[in-house]
């Protein structure tokens, strides 16, 4: 596998999340992906690791987990 940087218009890509209905259709996971695109930082995998730990201790919906994860602030 090789990673490649691909130029694109960031603001246009972020607007498409909402305009296309993607964010509404994929929430709460879409919110994490949106933040990855917006910040060029990892959100999905760190969230999944944290969510797995949390749900071993208590019942927690995906939406509640994403909210908790985002409240914790930048990684």
Closest-CA residue to 29 (of 54, 66, 59): 66
Closest-CA residue to 51 (of 31, 67, 36): 67
71 against 3, higher pLDDT: 71
- pLDDT value of residue 3: 81
Query: How far, in Å, CA of 14 to CA of 54, rounded?
Result: 29
- pLDDT value of residue 74: 65
Given a cut of 80, whether residue 12 has pLDDT beyond it is yes
The residue extents of the domains of the chain are 10-71
- Residue 63's pLDDT band, with cuts at 50, 70 and 90, is very high
Query: How far, in Å, CA of 67 to CA of 28, rounded?
Result: 8
| pLDDT tens digits along 21-62 | 999 999 899 999 999 999 988 999 999 999 999 999 999 999
What is the rounded radius of gyration, in angstroms, for the C-alpha atoms of the chain? Answer: 14
């Amino acid at each position: 596998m090789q990673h490649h940087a691909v130029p694109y218009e960031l603001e246009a890509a972020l607007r498409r999340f909402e305009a296309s209905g993607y964010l509404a259709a994929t929430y709460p996971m879409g919110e994490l992906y949106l933040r990855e695109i917006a910040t060029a930082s990892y959100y999905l995998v760190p969230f999944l690791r944290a969510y797995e730990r949390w749900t071993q201790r208590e019942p927690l919906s995906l939406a509640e987990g994403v909210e908790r994860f985002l409240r914790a602030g930048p990684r």
